């Protein structure tokens, strides 16, 4: 058995790694925002996009932890030679921070071509954001919903542009529980994560429908990065322990970033919108993730919670 495992190991790793983005698209003159890019797949996405072309993209790492973000940006600048990798403060658990980030960005940057809503929390003990939203829903969905709303006009002005939402296979286990969105009646942190990832898929679907209807040339797609060995499971001792034991069967952050990169740059996706990808190819969406009525209602409720009008 050990001999068989040794022989099979390269093939197992190749299978686990999944699809790779083969696009050689260059991003000269482009401006990119990636949330949560101080670690994991966000950092690897930033690293890849930062080196596409001699005069590479301006990559903005939007993070809550400035010290970690600066360390990541410094590493990427040194490795790629791209000095336009910069850090901006963004706490998705606080709408005030989101609005401040957007206001500063719009004042300082005249263009935006790619917005990658990558940041996320997973398996948090019950807690609420600064605005009273359940943490998974607040950070993973509502925070990115508001950020996209605030930056959308700039994306439209710079079209063709892309919005990439990092969701998860976990959306298959999610439900939008309108009667208890914030988990005050019943809370399970695993299911809360699934619910928020379903919200990402439904948001992408409804956003794409609205953008396409107005002929904006701004696309919106969602993706599952795969099971990645990263810090995302840090809130669960058991999951952290299992992740270490089975790390051989998990994607590296670089491998996990491939579908995010693919959705951001692949030429064949220029006019593709409202889709869900995994391993750099279209993937199956759960029936709940294809429910247009739920998507429309979630949009309306999200606007109400955030105090915005988004027609």
Write the pLDDT tens digit of every residue in 239-264.
565 656 556 568 889 999 999 999 99
Please say whether the beta carbons of 18 and 261 come within 8 A. Answer: no
Mean pLDDT of 198-218: 96
Least confident of 14-23, 79-88, 272-281: 14-23
DSSP code per residue over 210-251:
HHHHTT--EEEEEEE--SB-SGGGTT-HHHHHHHHHTGGGSB
Alpha-carbon distance of 216 to 158, in angstroms, equals 10
Query: Residue 153 pLDDT more than 70?
Result: yes
Catalytic residue among 11, 15, 193, 276: 193
Mean pLDDT of the chain: 92
Q: Is 193 assigned a catalytic role?
A: yes
Work out how many domains the chain is built from and give that number.
Answer: 1
**pLDDT value at position 307?**
98
201 domain-assigned:
yes
230 domain-assigned:
yes
Share of the chain above pLDDT 90, in %: 83
**pLDDT value at position 245?**
58
- What's the predicted TM-score (pTM) here? 0.92
311 domain-assigned:
no
163 domain-assigned:
yes
**CATH code (residue 261):** 3.40.50.720
Write the pLDDT tens digit of every residue in 265-309.
999 999 999 999 999 999 999 999 999 999 999 999 999 999 999
Split at pLDDT 50, 70, 90, the class of 74 is very high
118 domain-assigned:
yes
87 domain-assigned:
yes
93 domain-assigned:
yes
Write the pLDDT tens digit of every residue in 122-148.
999 999 999 999 999 999 999 999 999
Picking from 277, 182, 258, the residue whose alpha carbon sits closest to that of residue 220 is: 277
Domain of 5 in residue numbering reads as: 1-306
Split at pLDDT 50, 70, 90, the class of 18 is confident
**pLDDT value at position 17?**
76
Task: Tell me the three state secondary structure of residue 87.
Answer: strand
Picking from 131, 130, 135, 108, the residue whose alpha carbon sits closest to that of residue 120 is: 135
């Amino acid at each position: 058995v050990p001999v068989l495992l040794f022989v099979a190991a390269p093939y197992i790793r190749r299978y686990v790694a999944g699809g790779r983005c083969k696009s050689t698209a260059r991003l000269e003159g482009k401006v990119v925002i990636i949330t949560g890019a101080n670690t994991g797949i966000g950092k690897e996405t930033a690293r890849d996009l930062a080196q596409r072309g001699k005069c590479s993209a301006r990559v903005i790492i939007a993070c809550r932890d400035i010290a970690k973000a600066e360390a990541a940006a410094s590493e990427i600048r040194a490795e790629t030679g791209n000095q336009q990798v910069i850090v901006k403060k963004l706490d998705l658990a606080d709408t005030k921070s989101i609005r401040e980030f957007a206001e500063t960005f719009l004042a300082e940057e005249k263009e935006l071509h790619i917005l990658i809503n990558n940041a996320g929390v997973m398996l948090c003990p019950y807690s609420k954001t600064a605005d009273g939203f359940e943490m998974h829903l607040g950070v993973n969905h509502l925070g990115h919903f508001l950020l996209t709303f605030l930056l959308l006009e700039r994306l439209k002005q710079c079209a063709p542009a892309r919005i990439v939402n990092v969701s998860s296979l976990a959306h298959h286990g999610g439900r939008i529980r309108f009667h208890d969105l914030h988990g005050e009646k019943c809370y399970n942190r695993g299911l809360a994560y699934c619910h928020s990832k379903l919200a990402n898929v439904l948001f992408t679907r409804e956003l794409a429908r609205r953008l396409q209807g107005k002929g904006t040339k701004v696309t919106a797609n969602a993706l599952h990065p795969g099971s990645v060995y990263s810090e995302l499971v840090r809130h669960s001792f058991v999951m952290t322990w299992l992740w270490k034991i089975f790390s051989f069967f998990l994607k590296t952050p670089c491998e996990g970033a491939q579908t995010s990169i693919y959705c951001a740059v692949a030429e064949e996706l220029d006019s593709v919108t409202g889709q869900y990808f995994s391993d750099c190819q279209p993937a199956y969406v759960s029936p709940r993730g294809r429910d247009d009525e739920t998507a429309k209602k979630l949009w309306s409720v999200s606007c109400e919670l955030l105090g915005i009008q988004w027609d």
